[in-house]
Amino acid sequence: VEKIVEQGILYDFYGELLTPHQRGIYEDAVYGDLSLSEIAEKRGISRQGVYDLIRRCDRALAGYEEKLHLVARFLAVKQKVGELKQLAGLPGGGTPQTMAHIRQLAEEILEEL
Amino acid sequence: VEKIVEQGILYDFYGELLTPHQRGIYEDAVYGDLSLSEIAEKRGISRQGVYDLIRRCDRALAGYEEKLHLVARFLAVKQKVGELKQLAGLPGGGTPQTMAHIRQLAEEILEEL
């Protein structure tokens, strides 16, 4: 499951850099949840061909992240925004300490961007 | 100036997808602020060659953004985090309305991510 989630995030960010042919097969495998044999039959290529293509896509997507780190940057920002939202929803509301903490988190997020 | 700023942002995001050779020349032009003739002399290639390479890099970087839209997503998030930080710094501090507004902005940011 973790692998599928990670594939999904990388595909969400970098999938448009694959060819339409690669995207079609990759989506059948990762989102459509078809088996290699089902995809092979649907596309009229060998099961091995499907397997190789998916592996090549995985490597390409991982390679983009290795170079650009944009998924990592987004996830770091996402986590901090989540913390910030939680702070803003604390019962008792905005004490000066809470507000200072929110400003600090916002500042840290801006530095990531 | 605007063009250089935009070139800088695109390069910051996608520059690692260029070849080392392209990056070297592109950085001399955009960050090092060398003239085409100076770069040509330094690299031992023609002025026209430098010009073509830089144009090709510009097009490649713009093409990545056209496909991935990651600079646009980052800038949208950045603007909202800036608004949020400003809200958290208002004199009078965290009224329930301000806190609700902060939570809403955080929610909108999470949807962009």
Question: Considering CB atoms only, which of A16, A88, A109 is closest to B81?
Answer: A109
CB contact under 8 A, B110 and A68: no
Contact B27, B34 (CB under 8 A): no
Q: From A67, which residue of chain B is nearest by alpha-carbon distance? A: B16
Q: What DSSP designation does B16 have?
A: G
Q: What is the pLDDT, as a whole number, of residue A103?
A: 92
Q: What is the DSSP string of A40-86?
A: HHHHTS-HHHHHHHHHHHHHHHHHHHHHH-HHHHHHHHHHHHHHHHH
Q: Round to whole Å and give the CA distance between A82 and B90.
A: 21
Q: Round to whole Å and give the CA distance between A83 and A88.
A: 9
Percent helix, strand, coil in chain B, to 5, is 80, 0, 15
Question: Considering CB atoms only, which of A16, A81, A106 is closest to B67?
Answer: A16
ipTM of the complex: 0.82
Q: pLDDT 10s per residue in chain A (113 long)? A: 566 667 789 999 999 999 999 999 999 998 888 999 999 999 999 999 999 999 999 999 999 999 999 999 999 999 999 999 998 887 767 788 888 889 999 999 999 88
The residue ranges of chain B whose pLDDT is under 50 are none
Q: What is the pLDDT, as a whole number, of residue B5?
A: 66
- Give the whole-number percent of chain B exceeding pLDDT 90: 70
Contact A112, A76 (CB under 8 A): yes
CA–CA min distance A13, chain B (Å): 7
Burial status of residue B1 (CB atoms within 10 A of its CB: 0-12, 13-18, 19 or more): exposed
pTM: 0.85
Q: What is the pLDDT, as a whole number, of residue B16?
A: 97
Residues of A in contact with B16 (CB under 8 A): 67-68
CB contact under 8 A, B84 and A99: no
Tokens describing residue A46 = 């060998």
CA–CA min distance A46, chain B (Å): 30
Looking at the DSSP bridge assignments, the partners of residue A94 are B94
